[in-house]
Amino acid sequence: MTPAVPRSGLRDLEPYQAPQLEVAARLNTNECPYPLPESFRDELAGAVRRLELHRYPDREAQELREALAKHAGHPVEGTWAGNGSNEVIEQLLLAYGGPGRRVVVFRPTYVLHERLAWVTHGDVFASSLDEPWAVSTRDVAQALAAQPSVVFVCSPNNPTGNAQPVEIVEALAAGGDSLVVVDEAYIEFGGQSAAGLVARYPNVAVVRTFSKAFALAGARIGYCLASPEVVDDLRRVRLPYHLSALTQAAGLIALRHKEHALAILDAVRQERDRILVELPALEVRAFPSDANFVLFRPPRPAQETWRGLLDRGVLVRDMASVVRGCLRVTAGTPEEVDRFLSALNEVLR
Ligand SMILES: *Cc1c(COP(=O)(O)O)cnc(C)c1O
Q: Are 312 and 336 in contact (CB under 8 A)?
A: no
Mean pLDDT within 161-173: 98
171 φ, ψ to 5°?
A: -65, -40
Tell me if 90 CB under 6 Å of ligand 1: no
At residue 183, the pLDDT reads 99
At residue 18, the pLDDT reads 81
Write out pLDDT tens, residues 140-158.
999 999 999 999 999 999 9
- Going by alpha carbons, the residue nearest to atom 14 of ligand 1 is 185
Contacts of 215 (CB under 8 A, 6+ apart): 31, 32, 34, 35, 36, 260, 261, 264
Residue 221 pLDDT grade (very low, low, confident, very high; cuts 50, 70, 90): very high
Q: Which amino acid is at 125?
A: F
Write out pLDDT tens, residues 60-90.
999 999 999 999 999 999 999 999 999 999 9
Going by their DSSP bridges, the two strands 327-330 and 102-107 should be labelled as unpaired
Pocket of ligand 1, candidates 31, 111, 116, 211: which has the most ligand atoms within 8 Å of its Cβ, to mutate? Answer: 211
141 Cα: distance to centroid of ligand 1 (angstroms): 27
Mean pLDDT within 23-29: 96
pTM confidence score: 0.97
The answer, yes or no, to whether residue 211 has pLDDT greater than 90, is yes
Q: Which atom of ligand 1 is nearest to the CA of 87?
A: 7
Residue 1 pLDDT grade (very low, low, confident, very high; cuts 50, 70, 90): confident
Quick one: which of 156, 260, 248 has its CA closest to 214? 260
Q: Which atom of ligand 1 is nearest to the CA of 83?
A: 7
* CA angle at 340 for the pair 273 and 348, rounded to the nearest 5°: 105
Q: Distance between alpha carbon 21 and the CA centroid of its chain, in Å?
A: 21
Tell me if 158 CB under 6 Å of ligand 1: yes
293 Cα: distance to centroid of ligand 1 (angstroms): 13
34 Cα: distance to centroid of ligand 1 (angstroms): 18
Q: Which atom of ligand 1 is nearest to the CA of 29?
A: 1
At residue 218, the pLDDT reads 97
Tell me if 224 CB under 6 Å of ligand 1: no
The answer, yes or no, to whether residue 43 has pLDDT greater than 90, is yes
**For the chain, what percent of residues have pLDDT higher than 70?**
100
Tell me if 160 CB under 6 Å of ligand 1: no
Tell me if 278 CB under 6 Å of ligand 1: no
At residue 219, the pLDDT reads 97
Q: Are 223 and 88 in contact (CB under 8 A)?
A: yes
- Going by alpha carbons, the residue nearest to atom 1 of ligand 1 is 185
Q: In this structure, is the dihedral angle defined by the CA atoms of residues 133, 216, 97 and 8, taken in order, positive or negative? A: positive
The answer, yes or no, to whether residue 96 has pLDDT greater than 90, is yes
Q: Which amino acid is at 86?
A: N
Residue 35 pLDDT grade (very low, low, confident, very high; cuts 50, 70, 90): very high
* CA angle at 191 for the pair 106 and 324, rounded to the nearest 5°: 40
Residue 19 pLDDT grade (very low, low, confident, very high; cuts 50, 70, 90): confident
Residue 261 pLDDT grade (very low, low, confident, very high; cuts 50, 70, 90): confident
257 φ, ψ to 5°?
A: -105, 25
The answer, yes or no, to whether residue 17 has pLDDT greater than 90, is no
- Please, what is the average pLDDT of the chain? 97
At residue 206, the pLDDT reads 99
Residue 300 burial (CB < 10 Å; 0-12/13-18/19+)?
A: middle
- Going by alpha carbons, the residue nearest to atom 12 of ligand 1 is 185
